[in-house]
C-alpha cells in the first residue's frame, strides 16, 4: 500500500485522546484512523515507568501489525515517560504530545506558565524539560491533578464534591499568577466548562489544538496527507467497550463502535 493511504493510529489511556482525535478529524476527514483507548489500564498517572513501557510496547506492536503510517501519542503521561524509549523501535512516525507542544509554547511570549497534569507527568517534569530546551528563561509551575481523569471517565464533573476538587486544584496554581495554564492531560479539556466557573476560560491552553497543527505540518512535509475522498474510523478499547461507546458520545457526535482488544487474538468484535 502507498504510504500516504495507510492509517493514522491514535493512542490514549481512555476517552482523553478523543480531544486530539476530534481536532485531527475536523481538519483531516479523509484520513483512515485507528483509535486505541487503553481502558483496561487507566488511569496511567500513578503507574511506574516500567509498567507504562510494557503497556505501551504491546499497543505499539499492535499498531505495527496494523501497518499504520503514524501513531499520535495523545497521552501526556506516555509522551513524558515512554516516548524516548520507543521512538527508534518502529518504522512509522510517532508524534508525542508534550514534545510537539513544547515547540509551540516556546514560540509564544510567555514568562509564567502553569501546568495541570497526572502524577507521572508532573514527576517527570517533562513540560519543564522540553519547553526549556527551546526557551530557558521561563517560569513553569506544575500541579498534579490525580482525580481529574477519573472524573472525566465517569462523567461525574457535575457532582459537587468533584467540582470542589477541581476548584481546589485550580486555586493552588492560581496563586503563582500564571499567564496561561496548560491542560497537560488530554482528559482535562473536557473539564473546561467547570474551570470556567472560577476563572477566565481563555487562561487555559488545550494542547490538542496546537498539537494537531504540528502533526499536519509534518504529514504535509513528508507527503503523507491522504488524498482519498473519504476516510474511515476504527476504534479499539482494552476493556468496557459499551461504557466507552456511551461516554464517547459526549465528546464526538457519532458512535465510534469500539471493538474489544485482546492481546492474544488482537481483537474480537463485541
The answer to whether residues 131 and 102 touch, using CB atoms and an 8 Å cutoff, is yes
Same domain for 200 and 214, yes or no, is no
User: In the annotation, is 210 catalytic?
Assistant: no
**Residue environment code for 118-134, b if the CB has 16+ CB neighbours within 10 A, otherwise e:** bbbbbbbebbbebbeee
User: Are 237 and 175 contained in the same domain?
Assistant: no
Q: Which one from 145, 185, 210, 235 is the annotated catalytic residue?
A: 185
pLDDT single digits (tens) 95-145 = 999 999 998 898 999 999 999 999 999 999 999 999 999 999 999 999 999
Q: Which of 75, 145, 210, 235 is catalytic?
A: 75
The mean pLDDT of 216-240, rounded to a whole number, is 94
Instruction: Output the nine-digit C-alpha cell for 113.
Output: 506558565
CATH number of the domain enclosing 54:
3.40.50.1860
**75 carries an active-site annotation:** yes
Contact 168, 195 (CB under 8 A): no
In the predicted structure, residue 46 carries a pLDDT above the cut 90 = no
Nearest Cα neighbor of 86 from 63, 106, 105, 102 is 63
For residue 208, the model assigns a pLDDT of 87
pLDDT in tens, 169-188: 999 999 999 999 999 998 89
Same domain, yes or no: 106 and 203: yes
Nearest residue to 200 via CA among 230, 179, 169:
179
Q: Give which of 89, 27, 24, 98 is closest to 59, Cα–Cα.
A: 89
Q: Tell me: do 192 and 237 sit in the same domain.
A: no
Residue 134: give the domain boundaries: 99-207
**Percentage of the chain exceeding pLDDT 70:** 97
Mean pLDDT of the chain: 93
Amino acid at each position: 500500500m502507498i504510504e500516504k493511504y495507510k492509517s493514522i493510529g491514535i493512542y490514549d489511556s481512555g476517552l482523553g485522546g478523543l480531544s486530539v482525535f476530534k481536532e485531527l478529524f475536523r481538519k483531516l476527514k479523509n484520513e483512515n484512523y485507528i483509535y486505541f483507548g487503553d481502558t483496561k489500564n487507566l488511569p496511567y498517572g500513578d503507574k511506574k515507568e516500567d509498567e507504562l513501557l510494557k503497556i505501551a510496547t504491546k499497543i505499539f506492536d499492535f499498531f505495527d501489525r496494523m501497518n499504520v503510517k503514524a501513531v499520535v501519542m495523545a497521552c501526556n503521561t506516555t509522551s513524558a515517560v515512554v516516548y524516548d524509549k520507543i521512538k527508534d523501535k518502529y518504522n512509522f512516525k510517532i508524534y508525542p504530545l508534550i514534545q510537539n507542544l513544547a515547540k509551540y509554547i516556546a514560540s509564544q511570549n510567555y514568562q509564567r506558565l502553569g501546568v495541570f497534569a497526572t502524577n507521572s507527568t508532573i514527576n517527570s517534569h517533562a513540560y519543564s524539560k522540553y519547553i526549556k530546551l527551546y526557551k530557558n528563561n521561563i517560569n513553569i509551575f506544575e500541579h498534579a491533578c490525580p482525580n481529574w481523569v477519573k472524573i472525566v471517565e465517569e462523567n461525574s464533573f457535575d457532582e459537587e464534591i468533584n467540582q470542589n476538587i477541581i476548584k481546589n486544584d485550580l486555586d493552588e496554581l492560581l496563586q503563582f499568577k500564571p499567564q496561561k495554564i496548560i491542560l497537560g492531560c488530554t482528559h482535562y479539556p473536557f473539564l473546561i466548562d467547570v474551570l470556567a466557573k472560577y476563572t477566565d476560560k481563555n487562561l487555559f491552553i488545550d494542547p490538542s489544538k496546537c498539537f494537531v497543527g504540528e502533526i499536519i505540518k509534518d504529514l504535509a512535509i513528508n507527503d503523507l496527507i491522504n488524498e482519498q475522498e473519504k476516510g474511515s474510523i476504527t476504534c479499539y478499547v482494552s476493556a468496557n467497550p459499551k461504557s466507552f461507546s456511551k461516554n464517547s458520545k459526549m465528546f464526538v457526535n457519532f458512535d465510534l463502535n469500539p471493538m474489544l482488544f485482546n492481546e492474544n487474538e488482537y481483537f474480537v468484535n463485541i
